[in-house]
Structure 1
Amino acid sequence: MDLMRSLPIGLYLEQPRTWLHRLDPRTKLVWLMTFLIAPILANNPWRLGLVGLLIFITLTARIPLRVWKQQMGLLLLFCVVLFVMTLVAPDGLVLDHQPRLPAEDVAIAQPYEYVMWQFNFIKVTRLKLDLGIRLSSQIFTLLYSTNLYLLTTASEEITAGLEYIFAPLKRFKLPVTETLLTLTLSLRFIPLVLEEIQNLIRSVRTRAINWKKLGLKQGFQLWLMVSEKLLENLLMRAEQISTAMDIRGFTTPSRHQVQWHQLRLHIWDWIFLFCLVPFWYCRILFGMRLL
């Protein structure tokens, strides 16, 4: 089992370089915040439109099939299962009302129907349909937009973009550079964590342990020992990184000026930033949810 390939969530895709890779990290960060904020108080067609837009961006960027199949495919499957479970589960409302019109007038007027479809004990109502679309689409948008940003943006570019945005906070003597350096190390530490987990799982599998003979108690003790070894290895990796940084002079920002990435807005960055204006105009005009 190769966790670096089977669990690529949060990892940076170095090759091939798509048009998303070439965009400025500040542009991608602004669009990421747009995808995170746009579903708030939005109607269902707009939420489904955001899902379609993310899928369209993934396909046009020509991200390899092995990457988005494991990420977007599994996430789509989870959202579909969540949508179906929401439709099947009871909505908690018991409606028993008397129509205001006679029976012959009800058939002509075609009033609002709360129950849309029913088969035996399965009842699909408008409330469950609305809740299922909102829940599944929002989970997909929040998770996949963030993962797509991490997939096409290196940790150094993320740090450079965030440092540029939060630069005014330095006037209030806030440790912006130190905080962003910690963020960069955290993103760089994800592959190390997966590598340590992968090595420990392989070491357990090569010993051909008979789990049925161990029993529940001894099996739990064995995995507890593996977890302790994992924590020990991760702490050792963290100590090695801190020692290497200390040797190279990473003490204070004044003594070691860190050049993360050269930021430069190109023509496509300005085009995508300009597209935010019609996007939010349509969001306010057509995507607002009626309360």
Structure 2
Amino acid sequence: MDLLRSLPIGLYLEQPITWLHRLDARIKLVWLMSFLLAPLLASSLWRLGLVGLLILITLTARIPLRVWKRQMGWLLMFCGLLFAISCILPDGLTVEHQPRLPPDEIAFSLGETAENAAPLPQPTPYRYVLIVQGPLTVTRYSLDLGLRISTLLFTLVYSTNLYLLTTASEEIAAGLESLMKPLRWLKIPVTEIALTLTLSLRFFPLVLEEIQNLYRSVRTRAIDWKKLGLRRATQIWLLVAERLLENLLLRAEQISNAMKVRGFTSPNRHRVEWHQLRIRWRDWIALAGLTLFWGLRLIWGWEP
């Protein structure tokens, strides 16, 4: 079990360097916020378009198959399963009730029986119930609900993961600090927030490493969990959790001591250039694409 390699969410891809890596972190952050905000009050067709756009960006960036297969493959499978379950579940609108009027009011008023009355043609081809197969029923509302839930989940999770996959933690911190500069007029510690974010992103792999080491240490002891029982097994896992907390606090103290040895006092006095931000020609193209994206969203993507 190698958590640093088997866990595909939230890791940074160092090689190969794609065109997504070369984009400015601020531009990618604006695109990420656009993907997170665009599904609000959007139609189902627009949400499907967002899913297709994310898949197209992944393919055009030439991200290795071994990377996005684990990320997008499992996520697509889970969203597809969620879509299928939402479609066949009751939508809450098809409630059985006793009709107040006769089944065929026109035939009843003319004195005809239900057997002799000719069926009236439907004025439109609209059908609320789309599929009926035994106990499974798919309605328009359940189909629309399944599309909304599955596409929204895929867009929120995969767009964030794609941003973390192609943006280093130093670039994220520098981009956020650059975008939050106007908040300094409100006496908000922007530099401290950026430093805290950078340290937290750097600390996440250490947490995975400690969990991995403790898991291996428990596994090598070949403990027979069936003979221990629930109470003793719970005590062992509590000891493991306590040891994990101690190791993480020790790692945090080591990072703090390393910063003190290097003369770090505060982010404002000990200035650290995390990453040099620069707008290039490809960033302007991305901004033009973002303008076109929101133009289509405001004109065509609203919920009917």
Superposed, 1:1-291 pairs within 5 Å as: 1-95=1-95, 104-107=119-122, 109-290=123-304
1:256 alignment partner AA: H
Q: Measure the CA separation in 1 of the matches of 2:222 and 2:183.
A: 55
Q: Measure the CA separation in 2 of the matches of 1:240 and 1:31.
A: 36
Gaps of 5+ in 2: 108-117
Q: Measure the CA separation in 1 of the matches of 2:167 and 2:247.
A: 28
Task: Give the drift of 1:95.
Answer: 4.2
1:105 alignment partner AA: L
* Residue pair 1:42, 1:288 contacting (<8 A) in 2 also: yes
* Residue pair 1:43, 1:289 contacting (<8 A) in 2 also: yes
Q: Measure the CA separation in 2 of the matches of 1:34 and 1:100.
A: 53
Query: Computing the radius of gyration over CA atoms, which structure comes out larger, 1 or 2?
Result: 2
Measured against aligned partners, the alpha-carbon deviations of 1:55-107 in whole angstroms (never above 9, x if no partner) come to: 11111111111211111111111111111111122212234577999874334
In 2 relative to 1, CA 82–99 (structure 1 residues): closer, same or farther, beyond 3 Å?
farther
* Residue pair 1:11, 1:190 contacting (<8 A) in 2 also: no
Measured against aligned partners, the alpha-carbon deviations of 1:222-267 in whole angstroms (never above 9, x if no partner) come to: 1111111111111111111111112223322332011111111111
Structure 1 length as normaliser, TM-score?
Answer: 0.95
In 2 relative to 1, CA 101–39 (structure 1 residues): closer, same or farther, beyond 3 Å?
farther
Structure 1 partner of 2:110: none
Which deviates further from its counterpart, 50-59 or 97-106?
97-106
* Residue pair 2:9, 2:71 contacting (<8 A) in 1 also: yes
Q: Measure the CA separation in 1 of the matches of 2:243 and 2:169.
A: 28
What secondary structure is seen at the aligned counterpart in 2 of 1:106? Answer: coil
Structure 2 length as normaliser, TM-score?
Answer: 0.91
Q: Percent identity?
A: 65
Q: Measure the CA separation in 2 of the matches of 1:81 and 1:127.
A: 17
CA RMSD between the two structures: 1.7
In 2 relative to 1, CA 165–101 (structure 1 residues): closer, same or farther, beyond 3 Å?
farther
Gaps of 5+ in 1: none
